Amino acid sequence: MPIKLLIFLASQGLNKKLASRIAGHSDDCGFKSHTIDLVDLDAPLFSMKLHEQNGPPESIKNLASLMRSSGALVFVGPEYNGGLPPNLTNTFAWLSLCTFPEDKHGWRSCFINKPAFLATHSSGVALKMLSALRMQLAHMGVLVMARDLSVTLSQNLDQMILENLTELHQLAAKN
């Protein structure tokens, strides 16, 4: 039975093409993938005031349920001003408040023990974004692979994707 893989896409353009290629190879590596396009996700800018008034939006509640049932995660996005894409940070803020009464992990319930890898398509290596994302995901309980997929125009993309997906599947199968 394939492992459910959620691919978080935090950008368009070359990163969208990268996410599409990762999804295209996922079946070959034992996954059933689903891409979450954060650019199109209907999630207002997070504030505690908005959360207290309305709770999480339906799109976030649905995403939280998808995450809880997934076996592995991939995060694809660019570096924004030396940090994370704003839509990814906003999504994390909302998700951290989607708790489930039966889950002992509280605000980490969507993230805990999910193996993941990070990917970016950039003219540079996006080291600051990858480092910040790795640190934040680890804090939330995600098991982030040591090897990132940082793609420039001159690399053998398909081989790199297959190597990362194969390693991610091995980690997810152990969970």
pLDDT band at residue 32 using 50, 70 and 90 as cut-offs: very high
Q: What is the CA radius of gyration of the chain?
A: 15
Model pTM? 0.90
Q: What are the tens digits of pLDDT across the range 67-114?
A: 999 999 999 999 988 899 999 999 999 998 887 667 777 778 889 999
Which CATH number characterizes residue 43's domain?
3.40.50.360
Give yes or no for a contact between 162 and 68, defined as CB atoms under 8 angstroms apart: no
Any bridge partners for residue 117, and if so which? 74
**Total domains, the chain:** 1
Mean local confidence (pLDDT), 53-59: 93
| Pair of tokens at residue 173 | 């199968």
Domain membership of residue 162 as a residue range:
3-174
Q: What are the tens digits of pLDDT across the range 113-128?
A: 999 999 998 777 789 9
Give yes or no for a contact between 23 and 51, defined as CB atoms under 8 angstroms apart: no
CA 114/CA 151 separation, integer angstroms: 23
Residue 101 is predicted with a pLDDT of 63
- Mean pLDDT value across the chain: 91
**Residue whose tokens read 């390693």:** 167
Give yes or no for a contact between 2 and 31, defined as CB atoms under 8 angstroms apart: yes
| 7, pLDDT greater than 80 | yes
Mean local confidence (pLDDT), 155-169: 85
Mean local confidence (pLDDT), 8-34: 94
Q: What share of the chain is helix, strand, coil (3-state, %, to 5)?
A: 45, 20, 35
Percent of the chain topping pLDDT 70: 96
